[in-house]
Structure 1
Amino acid sequence: MVALRSFLAGLALALTSATSAAAVECERMEHQGNRYTVCSVSPDTESLRLFLNDNDGNPLGSFENVQLKLRGLGRQLVFAMNAGMYHEDRSPVGHYLENGDQEMRVLSGASPGNFGLLPNGILCLRSGRADVIETRAYLARKPGCQHATQSGPMLVIDGEMHPRFLKTSTSRYIRNGVGTSDKGTRAVFVISDNAVTFYEFAELFRDKLKTPNALFLDGNVSRLYAPQLGRSDTGRRMGPIVGVSVPATN
């Protein structure tokens, strides 16, 4: 009986991993002596969206709670990452839009900390595409996003590294971010597996991943859910979360 239960548990894990792999491609990668976990999503074929609160308006805060919310919709989470800076009550610092409803307006001025290290930017999710857009360009274009989250600084802007990043910087943290392809059909989510500088992190997106625009999401609270790699980070409660879901298998 114990052996049967173990077999069924292993089978369930294998099926979840197979489903995850079909929807999101995650891999471990090295660049310039640093280690990263990189997950690529095709927004034109996958259900990529943002999550903030549960049905009662309380912050979800964890991948487990996102999974519970999705379960009620007949779906399951196959990839997720924290998706932008937030206040102590876990409300978004900058612009946040979910299912077309605005939780927080766009902040375009300079401010203390990494968020206000201009230019910053916005991850915009629309039907069939995902785009990282510099904040002033976002305000000018009014792209009509279904989901959007603002963070900063930008890592790469139209193929160029953020002008304030220094190669000689000694400020190293675990960091996570997202880059998008020119046509919006590829979104690449990255978390560093060792502490890196902004310069090194941006260099990965520009030179290795070849994403013309990339956005820093956060540092100390960086978390990843990637079951195909056996990874489900816990720790400090999160604010905005970005994830991919598929129809539930049971």
Structure 2
Amino acid sequence: MKRVILTAAAFTALAACNEQPAGEPIVRAELGEGTANGEVVQAPDAEATSQEPEVASACRSVSFENVPLTHCVADPAEHRVTTRLGQSGSGPFRSLSAFAETVDDQTIAFAMNAGMYGDDGEPIGYYVENGDRQEELNRSEGPGNFHMKPNGVFFGTGGTWRVLSADRFYSTVRDRPRFGTQSGPMLVIDGELHPDIQDNGPSRAIRNGVGVSDDGKAHFVISNGALSFGQLARFYRDELKVKNALFLDGNVSSLWDPATDRLDRGVIGPMIVVTKREGAGG
């Protein structure tokens, strides 16, 4: 399948971001402080494709408060969710395009960046891949969005997926999940917006997040234009009716949707990969 590479002005600042010390979030404090380079991030420029998608996409274009978004849904009846970081012995992939070269795109529903990471591409918080815990839960204090408490964990086993605050995850989850990734801050907590998120703060950036609805579906949202934390949180609460949603990252937010030939270019760390169940539609 032909792949179209998308570019975004946001990714021009990544080189500077990657010079941060290991173990620190790539995206610094954005709440009211602007983006990492102090500029408003613009939407990716997509190249037009002349052919209709060969298969149905799990993602659709929507608009919320005049901001274009892409909303992707993982359905336990049709999909599996995994985390991926890199190939054994080779380190992190660092991009969706590098990962795409290693798999059959016919098996992929979509993939997204999965949270914050250090300058080596390794996750800075809880990370489980195929039942192997590679990073423990991070409950430390610190600067930036990741440490804006409460942060949270997206995790699951089989077709059961959840988003919980890090403290609730620590106190209630006893069995290690099959996959898990920690990021922050939480956007929506038990149906309420994160208490420190402004209704419409001055920080604007490309952003993405994940939440799980009452019917068990995981909702992944990535903005195609700059938006505030408050807007993203309200979309989850008011439009998707999601009670718990987690911010994944800012300017590096990226999506691979093979059905529409969308393949964003950017330097990332861990990934969430949604694959098709054998025999499922599409």
Aligned to 1:47: 80
Residue 100 of structure 1: CA displacement? Answer: 0.9
Partners of 1:132 and 1:40 in 2: how far apart? 15
| Structure 2 residue ranges without an equivalent (≥5) | 3-50
Residue 138 of structure 1: CA displacement? Answer: 0.4
TM-score (normalizing by structure 1)? 0.85
Cα pair 1:67 1:76 within 8 Å, conserved: no
Give the RMSD, CA atoms, in angstroms: 2.3
Aligned to 1:245: 275
Residue 132 of structure 1: CA displacement? Answer: 0.7
Aligned to 2:192: 160
Cα pair 2:200 2:229 within 8 Å, conserved: no
| Structure 1 residue ranges without an equivalent (≥5) | 1-5, 7-12
Residue 78 of structure 1: CA displacement? Answer: 2.8
One-letter code aligned to 1:62: S
Aligned to 1:33: 66
TM-score (normalizing by structure 2)? 0.75
Higher helix share: 1
Residue 147 of structure 1: CA displacement? Answer: 0.4
Partners of 2:182 and 2:95 in 1: how far apart? 19
Q: Deviations over 1:215-237 (max 9, x none)?
A: 000001000111233311013x2
Aligned to 1:217: 248
Q: Structure 1 residues 187 and 202 mapped into 2: Cα distance closer, same or farther (>3 Å)?
A: same
Residue 58 of structure 1: CA displacement? Answer: 1.3
Aligned length: 229
Aligned to 1:148: 180
Cα pair 1:54 1:69 within 8 Å, conserved: no
Aligned to 1:138: 169
One-letter code aligned to 2:109: V
Cα pair 1:191 1:222 within 8 Å, conserved: yes
Q: 1:97 aligns with which of 124, 128, 136?
A: 128
Question: Is 2:160 aligned against 1:129?
Answer: yes
Q: Please give the secondary structure, in 2, of the residue aligned with 1:70.
A: coil
Partners of 2:167 and 2:249 in 1: how far apart? 20
Q: Structure 1 residues 170 and 99 mapped into 2: Cα distance closer, same or farther (>3 Å)?
A: same
Cα pair 1:17 1:227 within 8 Å, conserved: no
Partners of 1:57 and 1:231 in 2: how far apart? 26
Q: Structure 1 residues 120 and 221 mapped into 2: Cα distance closer, same or farther (>3 Å)?
A: same
Q: Structure 1 residues 67 and 143 mapped into 2: Cα distance closer, same or farther (>3 Å)?
A: farther
